[in-house]
């Protein structure tokens, strides 16, 4: 792929995350600065297939850096999994002369981008936009910081009422396949136990730790559960807890999609801006088909092919911290 990128299409795909707008703004303004034409592709890959593509100008991205959600809208597009869908998408890009793409999304979106770039020779740059932080090759993903702070704020409030009533709360946070939100929000709020998809939930261990707390009259306890924990999430855990600890006043709270919305934090705005800027530079310099991340405060480029396979790991040390600090 030895070509000059002159027209960039930018899209947001998969679950939205706070800071996606800041990334789009950075791509649009950096591209324009370097004399390129920029197009916004609506609703992720769906807009590419349905030719819902609009020219973007500097003013198109005014007043969005502070807004959650995504002005380009987003979708999980099944049609793009099939070759016919991708072919249609390519012909729409071709008509407009779009010869480079920036995709803000998670690993599923990168998988589509990787395949598309291989089949149609269109350079693609991925920006990690997901609240789940489950992408390797970057210390941050756009949206995680905001989401986890939303969870922390909510859990702090739950602790107030838990404390007032001497209650045990089982709190479910997002993370179908990843436990980062649970881990970080749990540590930051002093949760007594944290259950994540990366570890097999040992329900007996949880029960005996709660029984031990009951014995020493530690009545206020918070258990943070990632929605994808393999025991079945907060409801399943609560069923067993209520059965085995009938004297403990137990409540469940599912935080849900409030974690995905809201104004992005300063950190998310800044990393999204740096990544968006860097994505355009990659396309200009011929560094194609990479995911732009930030590692040790430096831009880091992971080939898309690798980015779709690698997973962030949660080391045992994290769980040890939880156990020691929550005693």
Task: List the catalytic residues.
Answer: 132
Place of tokens 């929000």: 185
CA dihedral 229, 231, 236, 237 (to 10 degrees): -80
Among 123, 128, 137, 175, binds ligand F6P (CB under 6 A): 175
Minimum Å distance from CB 170 to ligand F6P? 18
Say which DSSP state 263 is in: P
Minimum Å distance from CB 228 to ligand F6P? 7
Contacts of range 83-88, beta carbons closer than 8 Å, 24 or more positions apart? 83/119, 85/45, 85/49, 86/112, 86/115, 86/116, 86/119, 86/120, 88/49
Q: Using an 8 Å Cβ cutoff, are 289 and 120 in contact?
A: no
Query: Phi and psi for 135 in degrees, rounded to 5?
Result: -125, 130
Q: Cα(125)–Cα(129) distance, rounded to whole angstroms?
A: 12
Q: Cα(217)–Cα(75) distance, rounded to whole angstroms?
A: 48
Indicate the residue among 69 and 175 with the shorter CB distance to ligand F6P: 175
Q: Applying CB under 6 A, does 200 fall inside the site for ligand F6P?
A: no
The window from 127-135, 159-167, 198-206, 287-295 that contacts ligand F6P (CB under 6 A) reads 127-135
The window from 3-11, 31-39, 168-176, 305-313 that contacts ligand F6P (CB under 6 A) reads 168-176
Q: Applying CB under 6 A, does 260 fall inside the site for ligand F6P?
A: yes
Minimum Å distance from CB 233 to ligand F6P? 10
Q: Cα(318)–Cα(327) distance, rounded to whole angstroms?
A: 15
DSSP 85-130: HHHHHHHHHHHHT--EEEEEE-HHHHHHHHHHHHHH---EEEEEB-
Minimum Å distance from CB 260 to ligand F6P? 6
Minimum Å distance from CB 60 to ligand F6P? 25
Structure token digits, residue 111: 């998988």
Indicate the residue among 130 and 209 with the shorter CB distance to ligand F6P: 130
Q: Applying CB under 6 A, does 107 fall inside the site for ligand F6P?
A: no
CA dihedral 241, 244, 246, 247 (to 10 degrees): -90
Minimum Å distance from CB 143 to ligand F6P? 8
Among 107, 227, 229, 268, binds ligand F6P (CB under 6 A): 227
Q: Cα(284)–Cα(279) distance, rounded to whole angstroms?
A: 9
Q: Applying CB under 6 A, does 172 fall inside the site for ligand F6P?
A: no
Query: Phi and psi for 198 in degrees, rounded to 5?
Result: -75, -15
Indicate the residue among 168 and 308 with the shorter CB distance to ligand F6P: 308
Counting every residue, how long is the chain? 327
Among 9, 15, 31, 186, binds ligand F6P (CB under 6 A): 15
Q: Applying CB under 6 A, does 176 fall inside the site for ligand F6P?
A: yes
Q: Applying CB under 6 A, does 268 fall inside the site for ligand F6P?
A: no
Q: Applying CB under 6 A, does 38 fall inside the site for ligand F6P?
A: no
CA dihedral 163, 166, 170, 173 (to 10 degrees): -10
Q: Applying CB under 6 A, does 130 fall inside the site for ligand F6P?
A: yes
Q: Applying CB under 6 A, does 131 fall inside the site for ligand F6P?
A: yes
Minimum Å distance from CB 312 to ligand F6P? 14
Q: Which of residues 49-88 bind ligand F6P (CB under 6 A)?
A: none
Indicate the residue among 223 and 255 with the shorter CB distance to ligand F6P: 255
User: Which residues of the shown chain bind ligand F6P in the complex (CB under 6 A)?
Assistant: 15, 130-132, 174-176, 227, 260
């Amino acid at each position: 792929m030895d070509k000059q990128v002159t027209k960039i299409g930018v899209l947001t795909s998969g679950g939205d995350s706070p800071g996606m707008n800041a990334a789009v703004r950075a791509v649009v303004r950096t591209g324009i600065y370097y004399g390129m034409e920029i197009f916004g592709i609506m609703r992720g890959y769906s807009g590419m297939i349905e030719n819902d593509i609009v020219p973007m100008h500097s003013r198109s991205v005014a007043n969005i850096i502070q807004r959650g959600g995504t002005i380009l809208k987003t979708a999980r597009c099944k049609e793009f999994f099939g070759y016919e869908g991708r072919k249609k998408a390519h012909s729409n890009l071709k008509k407009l002369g779009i010869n480079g793409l920036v995709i803000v999304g998670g690993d599923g979106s990168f998988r589509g981008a990787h395949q598309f770039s291989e089949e149609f020779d269109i350079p693609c740059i991925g920006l990690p936009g997901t609240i789940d932080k489950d992408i390797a090759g970057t210390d941050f993903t756009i949206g995680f910081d905001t989401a986890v702070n939303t969870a922390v704020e909510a859990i702090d409030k739950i602790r107030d009422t838990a404390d007032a009533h001497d209650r045990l709360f089982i709190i479910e946070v997002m993370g179908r396949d990843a436990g980062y939100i649970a881990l970080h929000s749990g540590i930051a709020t002093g949760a007594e136990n944290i259950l994540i998809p990366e570890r097999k939930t040992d329900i007996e261990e949880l029960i005996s730790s709660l029984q031990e707390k009951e014995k020493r009259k530690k009545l206020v306890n918070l258990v943070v559960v990632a929605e994808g924990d393999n025991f079945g999430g907060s409801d399943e855990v609560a069923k067993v807890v209520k059965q085995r600890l009938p004297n403990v006043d137990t409540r469940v709270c599912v935080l849900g999609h409030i974690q995905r919305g809201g104004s992005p934090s300063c950190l998310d705005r800044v990393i999204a801006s740096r990544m968006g800027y860097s994505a355009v530079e990659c396309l200009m310099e011929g560094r194609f088909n990479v995911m732009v991340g930030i590692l040790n405060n430096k831009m880091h480029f992971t080939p898309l092919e690798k980015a779709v396979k690698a997973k962030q790991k949660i080391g045992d040390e994290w769980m040890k911290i939880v156990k020691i600090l929550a005693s």
